[in-house]
Structure 1
Amino acid sequence: MAVSNGGLVLLNEMRHMLPPSEQKIADFILADPEQIVTMTISELGEMSQTSGAAVTRLCKSLKLKGFQELKLRINGDIGRKTELTNRDIQPNEPVSTTIQKVTEHAVQTLLETGELLDNEELEKAVEAIVNAKNIHFFGVGASSIAAIDAQQKFLRIHKASTASTDLHMGATIVANAGVDDVVVGISFSGATFEVEKILELANEKGATTISLTKFGQSPISQISKIQLHTSPTREANFRSGATSSRLAQLLVMDILFMSVASRQFEVTITYLDATREAIEDIQNQTFRKKRK
């Protein structure tokens, strides 16, 4: 299914990086997105006091195929009405309300992440991992969960993987990486010092570097060879422990894993069957011992 949403998120996140003429168009669209759905490229250029050529450049800056894709995405945003009010929890609110708020925020984040993933960058990441000798995942804090989860998944399909959450350990591992290795740095902010240093070291060693950050340019994404992004949706104050962003990172790792598994389907099934049988055998042995 083709992506048909995420236009307003793209405009919001990229706005400050656009040249003045494109920024002017972005501001015009964000002020009243519904009106541009029926406009032509020339009409939008005229109404925003720029030009049709500037609209075309804006679409290229957003990495879209053209104005029609931008309109399609914005129309999808309008139809879905994804704009949420304050989703932070309140003192002594009913658990039913908390369930609704947390669930809505998580769903929105996952949907936006799927819409913002760049197919070409994802293809590059899949190709790099398929051909990698070793894969090294690195993340600290909440991002360490995605790193550990990814390592577990890729080990199951016989891809040599490590996961480190400590700068010294990560540096020790990456110091021995080479051109056949892939190093994945995970940081929602895109500015985590430890992750940036690990990717810098990986680049020095000639490894293929992949970053997973929130959408938009950041110190970490700028130094990585392949850039993957999650939704930039901000966490509410009481959920600053990175609940939705963590889910988004896990989603991208799942998509990456499934894409690699699909690329080498037959051998993947063999490895998954072997790991499942090994775990089941150990569980059965443990159960029998407990019954004795």
Structure 2
Amino acid sequence: MPQNCLGTIRSYYPKFSEKEKKIADYILENPEVIIHRTINEVADDLNVADATVFRFSKRIGFKGFQAMKIALASETMTSTQSALVEKVEKLHKMNLTEKIFNANIQALQKTFENIESRFIEEAIAHILEAKRIEVYGTGASAVSALIAAQKLLQSGFPACASLDAHSQLLSASLLTKKDAAIFISHTGTSEETFSLLKTIKKSEAKTIVITSDPHSALSINADITLPVSIDETDNQTAFFTFSIAQQGIIDALCVNILHQHEKDDRFPSESPTHSSIKG
């Protein structure tokens, strides 16, 4: 392992003579400069003899001035590289943060621009008329389904979701044509989710699909598809942006449903609204 020049100078410093301390200060303050200077130039800068600089190099354990410069160059390069790596890592983290925020913003904007208002209106009508609402999602989308059901429940509608596949299948078999089912699926290709859809279609309950693939079997067989527009080429952010955008659709549904619910004469005045929701 190469000798640590700067560390050795600092440890020896209390024992140095005045001239040696003068040389030590010069090196410690200008390590990047000294590696490009000759022994004569250093001696002239400090107004000391060349031999004094040479003896200083020997004093701290090197064979001579050139050996000390090589050690200094190695230390300086390592220090510079470490600082550069640290700076790059910080910039990388900042860029990743900016990247995910920008991706989320773009997904929300594109989803809003591409979704057809008539499909939103139809989905709202089905939810308003439903006696019961089940929200389904498998894998990573199961958590999104739970959040969506909670938002609908807080909006005053009997919505629920389950993480358990058996419970999902059981609830799907109990739906009727007076109920509605909302499916959340990133790709729309989940066999478990499609199996639930086929079960629900037999009951004639209304089915609403939120997915990034409007051409999937799940989308084609649903009554309404609300597409999420995301950048599918970026696998690093695709799932996260889908989650944000699909929750944006759920939020839009809930706000519109609350507004429609409050002004709709078909509902009794004691029906739950956002003003009566606690928690």
| Amino acid paired to 1:204 | K
Equivalent position to 2:258, from 250, 258, 261: 261
- C-alpha spacing 1:124/1:268, structure 2 compared with 1 (3 Å): farther
Other-structure match for 1:100 = 98
Q: Aligned in 2, Cα 1:105/1:262: closer, same or farther, shift over 3 Å? A: same
Moved more, 210-219 or 183-192: 210-219
Query: 2:175 matched to 1:177?
Result: yes
SS, match of residue 89 in structure 2: coil
* Shift in Å, 1:118: 1.4
Rounded Cα–Cα distance in structure 2 between residues aligned with 1:271 and 1:261: 6
Match of 1:112 in 2: 110
Are the equivalent residues in 1 in contact too, given 2:228–2:246 (CA < 8 A)?
A: yes
Judged with a 3 Å threshold, the aligned counterparts in structure 2 of structure 1 residues 271 and 231 are, in CA distance, closer, same or farther, namely same
Question: How many angstroms apart in 2 are the aligned matches of 1:153 and 1:239?
Answer: 24
5+ long unaligned stretches in structure 1: 1-90, 280-292
Which of residues 163, 166, 174 in structure 1 aligns to 2:164?
166
Deviation of 1:194 (Å)? 1.4
Give how far 1:227 is off: 1.1
Displacement of 1:178 after TM fit? 0.2
Task: Work out whether 1:155 is the aligned partner of 2:153.
Answer: yes
**CA RMSD between the two structures:** 2.1
State the distance in 2 between where 1:222 and 1:237 align. Answer: 24
**Secondary structure of 1:217's match?**
coil
Query: Is 1:275–2:277 an aligned residue pair?
Result: yes
For the 8 Å contact 1:187–1:212, the answer to whether it is kept is: yes
- Is this contact kept in 1: 2:183–2:208, CA < 8 A? yes
Q: Which runs of 5+ in 2 are unaligned?
A: 1-87, 264-268
Deviations 1:223-275 (A, max 9, x none): 101111101422634446x1111101111111111111111126699533332
Contact kept in structure 2, 1:146 and 1:253, CA below 8 Å: no
TM-score (norm 2): 0.62
**Contact map agreement 1:196 1:219 (CA 8 A) in 2:** yes
Superposition map of 1:182-261 within 5 A: 182-234=180-232, 236-239=234-237, 242-261=239-258
Quick check: which has more Rg, 1 or 2? Answer: 2
Cα distance in 2 between the residues matched to 1:188 and 1:125: 19
Cα 1:217/1:273, change in 2 over 3 Å:
same
Cα deviation, residue 121, structure 1? 1.2
Task: Read off the aligned partner of 1:231 and give its amino acid letter.
Answer: S
Structure 1 residues 269 and 102, CA, compared in 2 at 3 Å: closer, same or farther?
Answer: farther
Letter of the structure 2 residue corresponding to residue 97 of structure 1: N
Shift in Å, 1:117: 1.0
Query: Which residue type is aligned with residue 146 of structure 2?
Result: I
Q: How far apart in 1 are the matches of 2:222 and 2:241?
A: 24
Cα displacement (A) at 1:193:
1.3
